[in-house]
């Protein structure tokens, strides 16, 4: 898309390379040779060599088995480390290809090569040179490229060049690679104009089948509850619709976004049982789900936040931070959309915490036995126990541990669970004396983040202790933090957690024994209570120097996107609508004893689209009704039946009050169900 935005506009030639039976053709000796060049530790090399050696296979049918066949080459299909070993095998191809001024994308055994230029022949020449290198590499390492499955495509905004009107000739040996109007990369269908029309069309067909499965689980009077149906929608349908949407949804045409939102609306109608014709935004509020386009915006903003924290040399970060002068007014990339959301969340005003892509190796991450973790006080108590019992359990654990030269208590505090945060540290030590101090955790901080900041402050102080200090105890009431540290640095980690581990390993190298102890919070433990007070003070400190971590940024983004989504309710649903007057956009609070038909009735009443109401039947053009109440001669809608009709006044007074309002549908829905049963409008279940 950046090529299309450029002035003058650029065209992009892309080749999707398909290697025949890639995993099966890997030569084991060649793989080990390449891994040796990558400086893989000898101990790991021996393990991998044994893992790949002497692998055999046979076919079994009933009680008959074939002879064994020794697998002389190839990686185990379905093996956990097979994709990683394949990346090691193909890794030396990347620097060779980049010499030809092309971009590459590698994921498992998928390889794409593309180049952009204002001239199609120039871009084609770059890609052709790279393909020659791929062919040479494949021949050298016993791999085969499928000439029939490898495809090429030209991305352009020129209508005279789209859909293969402009020919691109890329050759694989003596064979010209087929040029197509669309290519599938990692499950996403790319067309020549990046409209993603074909992808959305295929995706909608797949989602329609899943909606049918969900619909088969419940009707309007039987089947699964709305809670179960919503859970199924969120786990079975929504993830499929959102796959890749963070990147392509903003580029997609408005009609395509509307098609995806129609899927969410259809899911909402299945969940609630509301009939067709119900206002879409109302039924979405009833089902408590958001549109696909709204969720895609949120995921795009979160994706940008994750990528922008990566090192500068990572290509994905270079894409996010690239500045482009906008040329296409009617097209917006996810980068632009995500930046706008980040500004609304005030994230651009705060320094971001970086992500570390190179954690310490697992065999160096546990402090060589000098770091111990203790969570035993949680084994005999729960947070619901009285503070005295929880304190006694924690004291027993502390008394059972060897004495230490210094003890730290840390705690974090935030405003209402998320907001301005602070950390507090209490040090008890004979050498340097006791001390208490506070640290800021940032304008946007979760409780967990504030706990990390406080713990890091304690680790930094412990690292500066005199050499006489040989044992240190770090006490925190964050069980999540202790659990994470106990697991070690297994993958990309925030800067704060990485620095905590670096500090702990520094103490270990100094031969300092470290005890990390979880203690229950608010259990009247003196050190913890002092740290809690210091953490509250930390919230009042200047927050400009505190960085914002990724989880806290996610919460801020979700808050902005949810506010934006909630605002669409008030702009599309008029104030006089029954649903807005009754609920103001809030969802229904379910009771476990409600049957499916009870839930559907409440949803339909709140949406003012219930077949028990004459006004609804009249909207459906039923010939046997005029939509009026037989008793009063006025439109029989939800408000009339629940709040006004004199025919049901006795039941209304007994169950809903003399003059109820529509808010009773939100505040006491169970009473509404009893009212409908007593009036006979809702027959008893058979």
Residue 296: its pLDDT value, please?
93
Residue 165: its pLDDT value, please?
86
Ordered by start, the domain boundaries in the chain are 2-180, 197-345, 362-547, 579-679
Residue 438: its pLDDT value, please?
95
The second-level CATH assignment, the architecture, of 2-180 is 2-Layer Sandwich (3.30)
Beta strand segments in 164-242, E: 171-172, 175-176, 178-179, 182-185, 188-191
Do 526 and 432 form a contact (C-beta atoms < 8 A)? no
DSSP sequence for 438-477:
EEEEEEEEEHHHHHHHHHHHHHHHHHTS-TT--EEEEEES
Residue 359: its pLDDT value, please?
56
25 CB-contact burial (10 Å; exposed 0-12 / middle 13-18 / buried 19+) = middle
Distance (Å, rounded) from C-alpha 501 to C-alpha 50? 32
Distance (Å, rounded) from C-alpha 338 to C-alpha 358? 27
Three-state DSSP at 490 gives coil
Cα torsion at 98, 103, 105, 106 (round to 10°)?
0
Cα-to-chain-centroid distance, residue 601: 34
Rounded to 5°, angle at Cα 151 from 146 and 154: 160
Distance (Å, rounded) from C-alpha 554 to C-alpha 321? 19
* C-alpha separations of 526 from 92, 336, 523 in Å: 59, 50, 9
Distance (Å, rounded) from C-alpha 229 to C-alpha 214? 7
Phi/psi of residue 409, each to 5°?
-115, 130
DSSP sequence for 274-311:
PPTTS-HHHHHHHHT---HHHHHHHHHHHHHHHHTTS-
Phi/psi of residue 636, each to 5°?
-95, 90
Residue 1: its pLDDT value, please?
53
- Tell me, letter by letter, the H, E, C secondary structure of 94-144: HHHHHCCCCEEEEECCEEEEEEEECCHHHHHHHHHHHHHHHHHHHHHCCCC
The pair of structure tokens assigned to 245 is 């949407």
The pair of structure tokens assigned to 630 is 């037989």
b/e 190-225 (16+ beta carbons within 10 angstroms → b): bbbbbbbbebbeebbeebeebbeebeeebebeebbb
Question: What spatial distance separates the first Cα and last Cα of the chain, rounded to whole Å?
Answer: 60
**Residues in the chain, total:** 686
* C-alpha separations of 480 from 489, 602, 653 in Å: 14, 40, 52
Distance (Å, rounded) from C-alpha 58 to C-alpha 68? 5
- Only one residue has tokens 């008893």, namely 684
* C-alpha separations of 524 from 273, 388, 515 in Å: 51, 8, 21
Q: Which residues does the chain have with pLDDT short of 70?
A: 1-8, 324-330, 357-368, 489-491, 684-686
Residue 126: its pLDDT value, please?
94
DSSP state of 417: G
Distance (Å, rounded) from C-alpha 71 to C-alpha 412? 56
Residue 686: its pLDDT value, please?
52
- Exposure on the CB side of residue 320, measured as CA atoms within 13 A: 23
Do 451 and 481 form a contact (C-beta atoms < 8 A)? yes
pTM for this one?
0.85
Neighbours of 486 (CB within 10 A): 15
Cα-to-chain-centroid distance, residue 199: 21
Phi/psi of residue 446, each to 5°?
-90, 170
DSSP sequence for 570-620:
HHHS-TTSHHHHHHTTPPP---TT--HHHHHHHHHHHHT--TTSHHHHHHT
Q: What is the largest CA-CA distance in the chain?
A: 94
Residue 159: its pLDDT value, please?
84
Distance (Å, rounded) from C-alpha 8 to C-alpha 464? 58
The second-level CATH assignment, the architecture, of 362-547 is 2-Layer Sandwich (3.30)
């Amino acid at each position: 898309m950046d090529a299309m935005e450029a002035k003058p506009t650029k065209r992009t030639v892309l080749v999707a390379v398909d290697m025949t039976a890639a995993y099966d053709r890997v030569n084991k000796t060649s793989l080990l040779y390449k891994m040796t060049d990558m400086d893989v530790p000898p101990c790991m090399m021996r393990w991998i060599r044994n893992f790949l050696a002497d692998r055999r296979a046979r076919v079994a049918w009933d009680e008959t088995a074939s002879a064994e066949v020794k697998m002389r080459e190839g990686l185990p299909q379905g093996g956990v480390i097979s994709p990683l070993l394949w990346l090691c095998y193909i890794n030396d191809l990347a620097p060779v290809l980049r010499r030809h001024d092309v971009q590459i994308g590698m994921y498992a055994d998928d390889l794409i090569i593309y180049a952009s230029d204002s001239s199609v022949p120039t871009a084609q020449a770059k890609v052709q040179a790279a393909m020659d290198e791929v062919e040479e590499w494949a021949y050298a390492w016993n791999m085969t490229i499928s000439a029939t499955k490898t495809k090429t495509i030209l991305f352009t905004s020129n209508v005279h060049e789209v859909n293969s009107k402009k020919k691109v000739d890329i050759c694989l040996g003596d064979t010209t690679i087929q040029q197509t109007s669309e290519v599938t990369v990692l499950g996403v269908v790319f067309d020549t104009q990046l409209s993603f029309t074909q992808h959305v069309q295929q995706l909608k067909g797949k989602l329609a089948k899943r909606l049918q499965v969900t619909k088969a689980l419940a009707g309007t009077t039987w089947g699964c509850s709305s809670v179960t149906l919503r859970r199924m929608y969120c786990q079975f349908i929504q993830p499929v619709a959102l796959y890749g949407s963070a990147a392509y949804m903003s580029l997609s045409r408005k009609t395509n976004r509307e098609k995806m939102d129609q899927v969410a609306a259809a899911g909402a109608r299945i969940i609630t049982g509301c009939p067709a014709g119900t206002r879409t935004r109302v039924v979405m509020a009833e089902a408590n789900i958001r549109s696909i386009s709204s969720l895609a915006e949120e995921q795009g903003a979160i994706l940008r936040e994750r990528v922008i924290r990566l090192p500068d040399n990572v290509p994905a970060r270079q894409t996010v931070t690239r500045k482009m002068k906008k040329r296409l007014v009617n097209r917006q990339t996810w980068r632009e959309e995500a930046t706008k959301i980040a500004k609304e969340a005030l994230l651009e005003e705060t320094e971001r915490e970086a992500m570390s892509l190179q954690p310490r190796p697992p065999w160096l991450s546990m402090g060589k036995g000098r770091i111990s973790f203790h969570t035993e006080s949680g084994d005999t108590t729960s947070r619901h126990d009285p503070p005295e019992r929880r304190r006694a359990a924690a004291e027993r654990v502390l008394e059972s541990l060897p004495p230490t030269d210094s003890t730290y208590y840390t705690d974090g505090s935030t405003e209402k669970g998320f907001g301005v945060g602070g950390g507090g540290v209490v040090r008890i030590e004979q050498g340097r004396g006791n001390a208490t101090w506070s640290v800021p955790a940032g304008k946007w901080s979760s409780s967990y983040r504030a706990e990390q900041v406080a713990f890091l402050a304690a680790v930094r102080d412990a690292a500066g202790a005199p050499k006489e200090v040989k044992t240190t105890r770090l006490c925190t009431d964050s069980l999540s933090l202790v659990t994470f540290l106990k697991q070690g640095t297994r993958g990309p980690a925030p800067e704060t957690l990485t620095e905590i581990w670096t500090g702990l390993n520094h103490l270990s190298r100094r031969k300092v024994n470290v005890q990390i102890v979880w203690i229950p919070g608010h259990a009247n433990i003196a050190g913890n209570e002092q740290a809690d007070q210091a953490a509250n003070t930390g919230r009042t400190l200047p927050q400009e120097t505190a960085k914002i971590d990724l989880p806290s940024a996610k919460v801020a983004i979700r808050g902005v996107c949810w506010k934006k989504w909630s605002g669409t309710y008030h702009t599309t649903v008029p104030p006089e609508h029954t649903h807005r007057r009754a609920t103001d956009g809030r969802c229904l609070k379910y009771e476990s004893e409600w049957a499916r038909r009870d839930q559907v009735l409440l949803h339909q009443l709140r949406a003012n689209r219930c077949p028990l109401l004459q006004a609804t039947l009249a909207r459906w053009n039923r010939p046997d009704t005029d939509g009026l109440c037989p008793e009063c001669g006025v439109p029989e809608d939800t408000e009339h039946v629940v709040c006004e009709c004199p025919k049901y006044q006795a039941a209304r007074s007994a169950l809903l009050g003399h003059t109820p309002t529509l808010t009773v549908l939100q505040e006491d829905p169970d009473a509404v169900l009893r009212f409908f049963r007593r009036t006979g409008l809702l027959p008893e279940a058979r």
